[in-house]
Amino acid sequence: MSKLRNPVIFEIGGTSFEVDIDKQVLRQTNDQANEISFVKDMGDSGKYYLLRYNHVTKRPEPERYDQYIETIAIPPLVQLDPEGMSAKYGIPIDQLAGKTDFQVIVDQNALELRQSGALPQIDLAGEKFTVDLRLQELRNSRYFFPVISLKSFELTNDGWHYEAYYHPVMKQVVEIDPKLLEFPEGVVKLKIPNELGLDPVAAARQYGMDERELLRRHPIQKDLKAEVIPLSETHIPALIRRNREALQQEHRDNAQRSRPKHRHKF
């Protein structure tokens, strides 16, 4: 979507809000920190959203009742910004008519397939694996073996991905020797989405979350594929260098200790 396109503005009681379809929020134009979420702060009827809005604070007020709070109908994103929705989700503008935001944001064919019981698949270094969050495992889609436990992956610092060292020939997650002196042959590092990216439907069931709300924020991803990272782009080269330097120092120390302290006089 072009960054040069002017933002779509929607006014509520004389206050201007920018329509952000990427974050699915209304953002106050003169107070960028003030965002009203279509997902968390409004009720979605399909044809429109209901927002309990405080005209003083310019914020949603779902609980309070006073003279400054009004329930307002907000048009759906497909009406507020059809051009942006068309560009983001690859649907021609003339085909948006009659569709709800949920139908556009969440691939309905993929959702129907998933709800019928079909599990998602992910490409791990050229091999398809079936994602089974209930059992916390990835199973080879062709042979059903080997099975890789998701617990063998480490969560990244940002919490959005899992990482592990992987041997594509063995099709297994492997451990890296902390005293490594050479690159392990054939090993790469894999980076995959967390549960929300792998299977939002199963994640919603597993964690007791509202499925529609979760899917709005984390739609089903097509063609899941692990990022394959060469070891040369990880911390492994630095680890090998430190280990080699430590080994060389150990050899020097041993040689120093083995030398006689005093020479014999003849």
Domain boundaries, the chain: 9-95, 108-241
Please state the φ and ψ torsions of residue 3, each to the nearest 5 degrees. Answer: -80, -10
How many other CB atoms sit within 10 Å of the CB of residue 172? 14
Whole-number Å distance between alpha carbons of 170 and 150 = 17
Residue 79 half-sphere exposure toward CB, CA atoms < 13 A: 12
Residue type at 216 in one-letter notation: R
> What's the CA gap between 66 and 98, in Å, rounded?
36
pLDDT of res. 261: 63
Contact 41, 120 (CB under 8 A): no
Q: CA 164 from chain center: how many Å?
A: 16
What tokens appear for 4 in the block? 């040069």
pLDDT of residue 252: 85
In the predicted model, what is the mean pLDDT of the chain?
93
Q: Global pTM? A: 0.84
- From residue 105, alpha-carbon distances to 11, 212, 220 in Å are 24, 11, 9
Q: What is the pLDDT of residues 46-83, one digit of tens each?
A: 899 999 999 999 999 988 788 899 999 999 999 999 99
148 with 131: CB under 8 angstroms? Answer: no
pLDDT for residue 10 is more than 90 = yes
User: Is the pLDDT reported for residue 115 higher than 80?
Assistant: yes
pLDDT of residue 265: 57
For the residues 11-16, what does the mean pLDDT come to? 97
Per-residue model confidence (pLDDT) at position 254: 81
Alpha carbons 51 and 236: distance in angstroms, whole number = 52
Collect all residues with Cβ–Cβ distance below 8 Å to 209 and sequence separation of at least 6.
Answer: 203
| pLDDT at residue number 263 | 58
pLDDT at 2 over 80: no
